[in-house]
Structure 1
Amino acid sequence: MLKPAACDVAVIGAGSAGLAAYHAAKATGAKVLLIEAGPGGTTCARYGCMPSKLLLAAARAARDAREAATFGICVGDFAIDGTAVMTRVQRERDHFVAGVLEEVAAIPPSDRLHGRARFAGPDTLTVDDHTRVSARSIVIATGARPVVPTDLAETCQERVVTHETVFDLETLPRALAVIGAGPLGLELALAFVRLGVKTTIFDEGDSIGAVRDPVVAEAVADQLKRELIFELGVTVEAKRKADGDILLHWTEAGGKARRGTFDYVLVATGRTPALDGLDLNLAGLDCDEDGVPVFDPDTLRCGRSNIFIAGDANDDRPVLHEASLQGELASRNAAHAPKLEKRTPMPQMAVVYSDPDIATVGPGWDKDAAEGWIIGCSDDVGRARVDGRPSGILRIYAGAGDGVLLGGELFGPDVEHLAHLLAWAVQLKMTARDVLALPFYHPTMEESLRTALRNLADQQKG
């Protein structure tokens, strides 16, 4: 017998989008139920942003120790304790997760349900075998999960890891194969190789870090291939050896067959919305070919229903700040439906913490659209040279007619910060000349952005 429950807004998922959705809906005075099936703690804290940056921080310390001689500093005996590295990653990760769990625990028990939610109708959910929820509106905020090819999972078994399991390793592996040269695979591959792990990164495509601007892509490849072994444009086949290790076979572009043995295979080929098990067919929603409900990106409403979808679950802009903003918007619209608020337009922003970092602001490079752009460039940064770091390259795009900034692709030290400045300028519809009227301190990495903007201003008409 299912216990009945009723609410104005039911939120499925207590991740970044779901928690934001709960608090925003609660602020409207609505009766809200937050439903979570897993251990909680958000993808960012438990599996993503925070543990990966903890591993990258250890990698940076190791690299700095190796390169200290550049500055005339002798480090002496140098060693990496893999167990100690992973112990710190896990300890600090658990600290961040605990903070999120405290936030969830502070939510009144009457507003929380634990269990797997399934649609029983457009306005009805069942939670495991204990509760039937009637809701005026529903927000889907179930996040996403890693994709692991079935054949690889069956062959490698416990030796295949993803971003959800790699941080639970007790020590650093000896040799690691990373499948996927996108942002996630690149970050983790660089972290492990800098920590002394023999690391090779494989990808069926030929791009690194999802960089599309050909000039920036060339700079990225030139710099990162000094550290990492890349096998691009290849398909990998795996076999399990008698000792448990994984033997990979692949063919190089020239047709030469290669093979290598690895302790683990880290699959970083992408994430898919975690919508399986929701019984969306009973919600009466139209779905695309990937099974994601068709929704309005401006309101996050699915069709003409009172169901909204936010965060990684809709696969629109799968980054934390977008997930939180979407959660807030979806829940406000869920509470106020049929009166709907539209999302405030803001430029896309993505960062790869590859150190030198990669960042994209706006839609990114488009060969056809670039015919109507002017492009500013900077590839020499005094502060980077002082710090013994590669300058990288910045490419900033603006409209040729009005000079309004459109975005850019950036590669270099700390461009995560420059990306914020550029994104703000793009959202404010500023020109290069507008931004150049603002202060730039010397000597800072921000001066590289000023150089690119000066290059743009020189090309700006009028």
Structure 2
Amino acid sequence: MEQERKKAMPERIDTDICVIGAGSGGLSVAAGASQMGARTVLIEKGLMGGDCLNYGCVPSKALLAAGHAAQAQRDSGRFGVAAIEPAIDWAKVRDHVRDVVAAIAPNDSVERFEGLGVTVLQGAARFTGPREVQVGDTVIRAKYIVVATGSSPFIPPVPGLKDTPYFTNETIFDNDAPIGHLIVIGGGPIGLEMALAHRRLGAKVTVIEMARALGKDDPEAAALVLDRLRGEGIDIHDRTELKSVEKTETGIRATVECEGRTETVEGSHLLIAVGRRANTAGLDLEKAGIETDRGAIKVDAHLKTANRRVFAIGDVRGGYQFTHMAGYDAGIVIRQALFKMVWAKVDHSAVPWVTYTDPELAQVGLTEADAEAKLGKGNYQILRWGFAENDRAQAERATDGFVKVITDRKGRALGCTLVGRHAGELILPWIMAVQQKQKMGQIASLIAPYPTLSEVTKRAAGSHFTPSLFSEKTRKVVRTLMRWIP
């Protein structure tokens, strides 16, 4: 009888750090904490690696790579190489995406983290008290708890949608059959990246966006991207409201409204990409005294919740929903929980983001509109340089794009918008410049290898000095000095 009673009692684990969620942020906290000597428990109810590895960043970029490979065959004629229409094997495309995920998965696996000394529990977690979490029959009591449960696709309450088959980013990468006409609901980064990938892989694509497509980005840069996407045959309808959807004998019918006109769009498949919602269901946050705001966990500048022993990081806290921000958050938590750096807090002044279309669009710091709103006209400067003036871009026939830099009146970097080939790679020095408020002279004086796309950064920074260097005053000084030389 005593043995049966003990069996029924939940197992108890006392630990230093308990992390709920094995996505990017949770894995970073667990790996760092354990390797630095803290007893660490990691809980995950789904796939290790979370959304980024399994449904987001990794598979989407793999699918885009397949699309780029197909487009390269179509575009090769401009290099004197005979262009062909590529043959797309969708089953092999899906296998390519799965192979990429599988190659990265060991880095995020249970085995790796157990090898690092982390206790990994697989199951759904729920709070049972301010410092306690339960998973199945196991109760974990921790000095600190980190909620890193991420986010999931938001499904809008559109009439007919519940009776209509549709993809989200969690299901579309399992597709292994040709798509005739993909209707994409959402003109943000996810929607447009998937639109481009599927268009290049042979599908007809229509995008429906209620507001402005790429509405969070610099309008001038966004317009360049949208023009290119339309040029490849993607039908983009922004400022258009989706009124209803229905399943038809041949696929999907979407009813939309734009400027008072009602129209229908017929397609074979539907993708919902209108945003994300924080994953908090089932956590019983109220039992730990944790507050939420519009579905996301409320945190302060130190990522602490209303319960000072509980942190929330990544998508579940709202705000910037990027994998790199979850990793950044993890570092803030590690410094506070392990090293008592209570002053460590988030700084959003240099948060970068990239839309991986073709051309890519990257942003950090203030946009031109931000600068005008916050600083007012005359209190900032815009520096720019076009890819058409870059020799490497000319050689590769990738001249669409520009860098636009925002500085204060003293030439210190406040923001940068980059649109063009490899913009996501080229944005890095500008992240440092914005974060450290570097002056343009520090960037302009760098030696950039020739010919590289990175010269656009040096040229844009150097343009800060053009008005003074080539002014009439400078010419007079130089002429005067030259007279003294025999």
Contact 1:21 1:330 in 2 (8 A): yes
Q: Which residue does the alignment assign to 2:477?
A: none
> CA separation of 1:7/1:105 partners in 2, compared to 1, >3 Å: closer, same or farther?
closer
- Tell me which residue corresponds to 1:258: 263
Match of 2:399 in 1: 390
The CA deviation at 1:190 is 0.7
Alignment of 1:225-264 (within 5 A): 225-227=230-232, 228-243=234-249, 245-253=251-259, 255-264=260-269
Shift of 1:438: 0.6
Stretches of structure 1 lacking an aligned partner (at least 5 in a row): none
Q: Does 1:196 align with 2:198?
A: no
Q: Which residue of 2 aligns with 1:210?
A: 216
Q: Give the match's secondary structure for 2:177.
A: coil
Q: After superposition, what is the alpha-carbon deviation per residue over 1:371-413, rounded to whole angstroms, capped at 9, x for unaligned?
A: 221000112233222212233122110001x210111111111
Shift of 1:304: 5.5
> Structure 2 counterpart of 1:395, which letter?
K
Inter-CA distance 92–24: structure 2 relative to 1 (3 Å threshold): closer
Query: Which amino acid is 1:393 matched to?
Result: F
Aligned residues of 2:314 and 2:325 also touching (Cα < 8 A): yes
Whether 1:308 aligns to 2:311 is yes
Give the deviation of 1:442 after TM superposition.
1.8
* CA positional deviation for 1:153: 7.5
Q: Distance in 1 between matches of 2:70 and 2:150?
A: 33
1:46/1:153 CA distance change after superposition, 3 Å: farther
Q: TM-score scaled to structure 1, two decimals?
A: 0.91
Mapped partners of 2:52, 2:296: distance in 1: 22
Q: CA deviation at 1:303?
A: 3.3
Check if 1:347 corresponds to 2:350: yes
What is the rounded CA distance, in whole Å, between the counterparts of 1:205 and 1:382 in structure 2? 37
Offset of 1:242 from its aligned partner? Answer: 4.3
Range that drifts further, 99-108 or 179-188: 99-108
Query: What RMSD in Å do the two structures reach over aligned CA positions?
Result: 2.3
Letter in 2 for 1:281: E
1:20 to 23, 28, 53: 28
C-alpha change, 1:317 and 1:409, in structure 2 (3 Å) is same
1:378 matches 2:380: no
What stretches of structure 1 move > 6 A for 4+ residues in a row? none
Corresponding residue SS for 1:257 = strand
- Given that 2:314 and 2:326 are in contact with CA atoms closer than 8 Å, whether structure 1 keeps it comes out as yes
State the shift of 1:148 in Å: 1.1
Q: Which structure exhibits the higher relative contact order, with contacts defined as CA atoms closer than 8 Å and separated by 6 or more residues? A: 1
Q: What is the distance in 2 between the residues matched to 1:28 and 1:107?
A: 10
Q: Percent identity?
A: 30
Partner of 1:32: 40
Change (3 A) 1:322 1:29: same
What is the rounded CA distance, in whole Å, between the counterparts of 1:124 and 1:258 in structure 2? Answer: 54
Q: For the structure 1 residues 179 and 441, does the alpha-carbon distance in structure 2 shift closer, same or farther, using more than 3 Å as the test? A: same
CA contact (8 A) 1:296 1:302 kept: yes
CA deviations over 1:121-140 (Å, ceiling 9, x no partner): 11111213x11222221111
Query: Is 2:404 aligned against 1:399?
Result: no
Task: Report the more deviating stretch, 418-427 or 363-372.
Answer: 363-372
**Offset, 1:76:** 4.8
Tell me, which stretches of 5 or more residues in structure 2 are unaligned? Answer: 1-8, 475-486
Contact map agreement 1:308 1:334 (CA 8 A) in 2? no
Aligned position for 1:114: 122
Q: Report what 1:132 is aligned to.
A: 139
Write the deviation string for residues 323-361 of structure 1: whole angstroms up to 9, x where unpaired: 123123214423456x52504746110011112100001
Deviation of residue 441 (structure 1)? 1.8
SS for the counterpart of 2:12 is strand
Distance in 2 (CA, whole Å) between partners of 1:133 and 1:247 is 49
TM-aligned CA distance change 1:460 to 1:22, over 3 Å: farther
Instruction: Provide the rounded CA distance (Å) in 1 between the counterparts of 2:163 and 2:391.
Output: 47
CA shift, 1:66, in A, is 0.4
1:431 aligned onto 2:439: yes
Task: State the AA in 1 paired with 2:140.
Answer: V
The DSSP-based 3-state class of the residue aligned with 2:461 is: helix
- How far did residue 249 of structure 1 move? 1.2
Give the distance between the partners of 2:132 and 2:247, measured in 1 at CA.
Answer: 50
Name the larger-Rg structure. Answer: 2
C-alpha distance in structure 1 between counterparts of 2:400 and 2:177, whole Å? 33
**What CA distance in whole angstroms lies between the structure 1 residues aligned with 2:33 and 2:114?**
18
Give deviations 1:15-69, integer Å, cap 9, x for gaps.
Answer: 1111111122224422221111112233221111111111111111111100111
Q: Deviations over 1:249-302 (max 9, x none)?
A: 11233x4432122222111111121111111111112332x13332122x2111
Following the alignment from structure 1 to structure 2, what is the Cα–Cα distance between the partners of residues 363 and 98? 38
Contact 2:160 2:246 in 1 (8 A): no
CA contact 1:186–1:209 (8 Å) conserved in 2: no
Equivalent pair of 2:22/2:44 in contact (CA under 8 Å): yes
Q: Take 2:96 and 2:37, find their aligned partners in 1: how far apart are those partners?
A: 42
**Which residue identity does 2:277 align to in structure 1?**
T
**Pairs within 5 Å for 1:64-75:** 64-75=72-83
2:358 counterpart SS class: coil
Instruction: From the superposition, tell whether residues 451 and 152 of structure 1 become closer, same or farther in structure 2 (CA, over 3 Å).
Output: farther
2:155 aligned residue = 148
CA contact (8 A) 2:186 2:209 kept: yes
Change (3 A) 1:341 1:21: farther
- Correspondence for 1:447 among 452, 455, 477: 455
Q: After the TM superposition, which residues 146-185 of structure 1 pair with which residues of structure 2 at under 5 Å, given as runs?
A: 146-151=153-158, 154-157=161-164, 159-185=165-191
